[in-house]
Amino acid sequence: MNKVTIYTDGAARGNPDGPGGYGAVLQFVDRNGTLHERELSQGYAKTTNNRMELMAVIAALEALTRPCVVELFSDSKYVVDAFNEHWIDRWIRTGWKKADKTPVLNVDLWQRLLAAKEKHDVTFRWVRGHAGNAVNERCDKLATAAADAVAQDV
């Protein structure tokens, strides 16, 4: 399986229900040692930061055309901890309820993310946002530019 590194970020202006966007950078080094990169971004008129964090991961995983070993970096503890702390397993077992018995938000996107990651071997890694990681900073620029472009159209 090919090894792909993915960085993702989401942004929302006027969270919740303001314009938002996501950005993702996919990296793959071929057998000749050449780095290939693909950038993804999209804006939405009314959204939340958490929805955009999820959409960045979903879009990146859905862009992969064959099963891959994926190292996915996100500055969203919401996304990373859902998998690394096994929240998602508990949510599924409890019918998408949190520990306090309230409904999990964004179930539609969590289910879409689960479907998108199903054929891949994904490791989620947290990266501190706005801390000098060049690829994470690029994702932030993609996400905010997408959010700002939609805000201008509204």
Q: How far apart are the C-alpha atoms of 146 and 140, rounded to whole Å?
A: 10
Checking if the pLDDT of 154 tops 60, the result is no
For 129-146, what is each residue's pLDDT tens digit?
777 889 999 999 999 999
Q: Is residue 140 among the annotated active site residues? A: yes
| Beta bridge partner(s), residue 28 | 4, 36
Q: Are 129 and 78 in contact (CB under 8 A)?
A: no
Q: Is residue 17 among the annotated active site residues? A: no
Residues 6+ apart with CB under 8 A from 66: 1, 2
Domain boundaries, the chain: 2-153
If you average pLDDT over residues 8-37, what whole number do you get?
Answer: 94
Read off the pTM: 0.95
Q: How far apart are the C-alpha atoms of 83 and 29, rounded to whole Å?
A: 26
pLDDT at 128: 86
Average predicted confidence (pLDDT) for the chain = 95
Residues 6+ apart with CB under 8 A from 20: 10, 11, 12, 13, 43, 44, 47, 48, 49, 51, 52, 143, 146, 147, 150
Q: Is residue 10 among the annotated active site residues? A: yes
Q: Is residue 129 among the annotated active site residues? A: no
pLDDT at 35: 96
pLDDT at 57: 98
For 104-130, what is each residue's pLDDT tens digit?
999 999 999 999 999 999 999 999 877
Residue 103 per-residue DSSP state: B
From 85, 108, 121, 130, the catalytic residue: 130
Report the topology of domain 2-153. Answer: Nucleotidyltransferase; domain 5 (3.30.420)
